[in-house]
Structure 1
Amino acid sequence: MQTEGISRRAILGGGAATAGALTLGPLLGNTAVAADNATPAGAAAAQAAKTDYAAIGVRPLINGRGTFTVLSGSLMLPEVRNAIDKAAREYVQLDELADAIGKRLGELTQSEFGLVSSGCSAALGHAAAACVAGGNPDLHVQLPDLTGFRKTEAIIPRHSRNVYEAAISATGLKVVEVDTREELKAALGPQTALVYIMAMPRVDASELDTRTICDIAHAANVPVLVDAAAEILTIPNVHLERGADLVAYSGGKALRGPQSAGILLGREDLVRAAWVHSAPHHGWARGFKVGKEEAMGMLAAVEMWVQRDHEAEYATWTSWLKTISRRVSVVDGVSSEILQPEGLSNRTPSLRILWNAAKLGVAGQTIVDTLYNGAPRIAINAASSGGQTGLSITPYMLEPSNEKTIADEVVKLLKNPPAAPEPPKPPTVDATGTWALKITYAAGTSTAHELKLSQDGARITGTHSGEFVSRPATGSVSGATVSVRSRYGEEHGDSLDYTFTGTVDGDGFSGDLSLGEYLGASFTATRQS
């Protein structure tokens, strides 16, 4: 079946003829759960539930960024919460449950079989293990030690290198990078366990698009795994139709299932083997446990996916963005535009708000930071275009009335901007030299890092070396304050982001270290003679 050029309804609704016939019936019970907060008792319980975070000092937020895991993904549907609650009230045998859910997921998604995992990353790991060892327990218990194994390599095209491929290499596989058809053909052999693709628009615009990869890999009897974590679930599945053998999704993003769940779909023999390589079975993946609650909750999310009115949801998101757009338009010099998405990932519209920073006296990032640290706490993104600064808002994770709150707070800050960051001062120190670092992480310390810096006026260049790798460093100087950043990007299959900000005093340099996703740290450094 042709998938390019199909309509939004065909992509999102998928299998309209079957969707109308599917019901949650025995899976979710006959209780109406969509209006679970309709009664006074229900509303009181919902309000009480919302106070639990505050009781332990955690501040909830309004999510206008999207389905980011660090922001706890998406909110589970009421039907999913109900399925989890019902599943928690009885015991089952997990192998039997996996078999029944696998068949049902296959029916719902028009694939051969399905598996619920503890997130998309776990699904990728289980799939890789299945491609290495099949369903053979004697081989399974040896992972990730591949000594004596025939299949020891995973091929990843350069366009698909990313931090999530760690799930593939965790099985012991060596990653082999390719960039052309000829390189792919040359790399394939009896040692190749699989080819891994990260689903994104640039893949199918490249020489190594999904169809091409699948054709070449299948000629060598090598399966292809697609990571579609952030994508909508297409039915029939666009990746399987293009030739992929397996495709994995996050459960806590577009599907609005449990954040700690994901699904793997595709060839029944490989998906069943992937189950062998998951808990409750032992071995390397025992820690990736899926309880009966997450399993049934994830199934409920897929059941709901084929019943949800995706067109109506999209219209609602667009209406929220129009509300914000109308409200910010009252501020002179502010423009806004609703942008439509490309591809299938995080398939929602977004709103871009732009203005001249000099005229309004505030940058987009300053407003982003103020909203995130304010009350109510609001998470949105900074944006820029054509020399203008601004904001970007994604509506998928918003709840009704959030759009009005965001609009009110943004307009307030545009009309009465927060204080701008202090402008840079002329340098009063010279940070040139080799600096031996001591880093105190949130847990543990390291003395193996080194900065080699050169200063030209207020500009810093150099290198940052650590336990893992040496990478370029850049930075700036303001008075006696020096800021130096190094980044090792996803194009290598890893991601490390270090920003050292501190004061130089003679041959000493100390301050705070921002590590991106790895929390904060502090450092001291001594300039070497």
Structure 2
Amino acid sequence: MTSVYEHYGLKPVINASGRMTILGVSTPGAAVVEAVNDGLSHYFEMKDLVDKTGAYIAGLLGCEDALVVSCASAGIAQSVAAVIARDDDWLLDNLHSAPLSVPHEIVLPKGHNVNFGAPVGTMVALGGGRLVEAGYANECSPAQLAAAVTASTAAILYIKSHHCVQKSHLSVAQAAAVAREHGVPLIVDAAAEEDLQAYYAAGADLVIYSGAKAIEGPTSGLVVGRQRHIAWVKRQSQGIGRAMKVGKEGILGLTRAVEEYLQQEKVSGAAMVEKMTPFIAQLNGLHGVQARVVWDSAGRDIARTEIHLDEAAIGRSTAALVQALKEGRPAIYFRGYKANEGIVEVDVRSVSAEQLHTLYLAIASLLTGEHQG
């Protein structure tokens, strides 16, 4: 029997970049696959399925309510639409067809206005909102966030991500205090975050997660929060959410994934360091290469291998090396956010020890011009 790669002529991939959308994010376990199959094999009253699974997840996480959506980006768009339209039936049908007279500005720290594969502002616009930046790219205090809130503000949006500026920015709890003081909801996009309870506990009204990243579910998203706000998001299934609907298999798959995620023992950063130590030693034996352990810039317990390439010594640019590895077979993907500085990172969470050795051999072969056995 041919593999899926052979059947469709696809290129095998070693994912050393982490749980990234461009590579299919993650590989769910057998229990999640079974739940997806259950969803595919049965019929349900979809409203009943949405409500019951949401209540079940909320019970697991200790929040008022929850909702499975198609992805985290859809969660942002639908949450924005929800806080604008609320219970208004006319707005539910006409969100984009006429100028809005209700509050529709979404305030976020300027350093959080990022592109995570698509611009945050695009998701806000899809939800009918207008983005308003608070503070500066390298600074946003509670006072600066509060100064951007007006009578036209529908919500504050906080992006908890390594993509965002980390220094001199207020915390989720501080943003929640500003939101409460001004009587507006706080939406937190925590797509890749690993703590499914902290941001709700810190005062957020809606928190959005990717179902396929840390939770390792099927392609999906999870919105948790206050009951009234989740009810507004649910209403968007008859509005913009219709174009973003999640299937029964995604709902059941993510619900099971949340169960599994809460029960499983998390792989620690220390274990990641142990896994990558032989790989780092091999890399440091190559001319023009320096490798070391670095920790996640957003504060998560994730250790990665940072590879610094001396471009003058290796005789090629970092970008060219990264591209050559992507074009190889198997294709090898790094985290390339600092490639312009001659630095790439290896995320070992989705890579086996054998694949790390394959990665080393591929780098060594490109640098020496010799096939490595």
TM-score for the superposition, normalised by structure 1: 0.63
Q: Which structure: greater strand fraction?
A: 1
Task: Please point out which of 296, 303, 326 is paired with 1:372.
Answer: 326
Name which one, 1 or 2, has greater alpha-carbon Rg: 1
Distance 1:341 1:177 in 2: 26
Secondary structure of 1:378 counterpart? strand
Aligned twin of 2:272: 317
Are 2:108 and 2:145, in contact at CA under 8 Å, matched by a contact in 1?
Answer: no
2:12 matches 1:52:
no
In the alignment, residue 14 of structure 2 is paired with which amino acid?
A: I
Task: Please point out which of 85, 88, 94 is paired with 2:40.
Answer: 88
Deviation at 1:354, TM superposition (A): 3.0
In the alignment, residue 354 of structure 1 is paired with which amino acid?
A: H
Aligned twin of 1:352: 306
Q: Which structure: greater helix fraction?
A: 2
Deviation at 1:295, TM superposition (A): 0.4
Are 1:210 and 1:242, in contact at CA under 8 Å, matched by a contact in 2?
Answer: yes
Distance 2:97 2:129 in 1: 9
Are 2:12 and 2:329, in contact at CA under 8 Å, matched by a contact in 1?
Answer: no
Aligned twin of 1:69: 21
Secondary structure of 2:81 counterpart? helix
Deviation at 1:356, TM superposition (A): 3.2
Distance 1:129 1:375 in 2: 44
In the alignment, residue 362 of structure 2 is paired with which amino acid?
A: E
Aligned twin of 1:34: none
Aligned twin of 1:500: none
Closer, same or farther in 2 for the Cα pair 1:334/1:128, shift >3 Å? closer
Secondary structure of 2:242 counterpart? coil
In the alignment, residue 410 of structure 1 is paired with which amino acid?
A: I
Distance 1:73 1:359 in 2: 34
Are 2:92 and 2:236, in contact at CA under 8 Å, matched by a contact in 1?
Answer: yes
Equivalences, count: 361
Deviation at 1:220, TM superposition (A): 1.9
Deviation at 1:98, TM superposition (A): 0.9
| Higher RCO structure, 1 or 2 (CA under 8 Å, sep 6+) | 2
Alignment of 1:104-123 (within 5 A): 104-123=56-75
Alignment of 1:307-456 (within 5 A): 307-311=263-267, 314=269, 316-332=271-287, 334-344=289-299, 348-381=302-335, 389=342, 391-399=344-352, 401-416=354-369
Secondary structure of 2:41 counterpart? coil
Give ranges in structure 1 of 5+ residues lacking alignment.
1-43, 419-529
Distance 1:150 1:381 in 2: 42
Give ranges in structure 2 of 5+ residues lacking alignment.
136-140
Task: Please point out which of 207, 211, 225 is paired with 1:247.
Answer: 207
Aligned twin of 2:138: none
Distance 1:151 1:383 in 2: 36
In the alignment, residue 112 of structure 1 is paired with which amino acid?
A: E
Are 1:204 and 1:210, in contact at CA under 8 Å, matched by a contact in 2?
Answer: no
Aligned twin of 2:227: 268
2:160 matches 1:199:
yes
TM-score for the superposition, normalised by structure 2: 0.87
In the alignment, residue 401 of structure 1 is paired with which amino acid?
A: E
Higher mean C-alpha displacement, 331-340 vs 67-76: 331-340
Distance 2:210 2:223 in 1: 9
Are 1:323 and 1:403, in contact at CA under 8 Å, matched by a contact in 2?
Answer: no
Pairwise CA RMSD: 2.7
Aligned twin of 2:236: 277
Distance 2:158 2:260 in 1: 27
Secondary structure of 2:76 counterpart? helix
Alignment of 1:138-177 (within 5 A): 138-145=90-97, 147=99, 149-162=101-114, 163-177=119-133
Deviation track 1:292-318 (CA, whole Å, cap 9, x = no partner) reads 100011111111111121136x45533
Closer, same or farther in 2 for the Cα pair 1:330/1:176, shift >3 Å? closer
Deviation at 1:252, TM superposition (A): 1.5
Deviation at 1:390, TM superposition (A): 5.1
Deviation at 1:380, TM superposition (A): 1.7
Are 1:363 and 1:390, in contact at CA under 8 Å, matched by a contact in 2?
Answer: no
Secondary structure of 2:175 counterpart? helix
Distance 1:207 1:408 in 2: 41
Deviation track 1:122-162 (CA, whole Å, cap 9, x = no partner) reads 11112112211224434311222354542222212212212
Are 1:245 and 1:266, in contact at CA under 8 Å, matched by a contact in 2?
Answer: yes
Task: Please point out which of 201, 210, 217 is paired with 1:257.
Answer: 217
Distance 1:152 1:333 in 2: 53
Secondary structure of 2:154 counterpart? strand
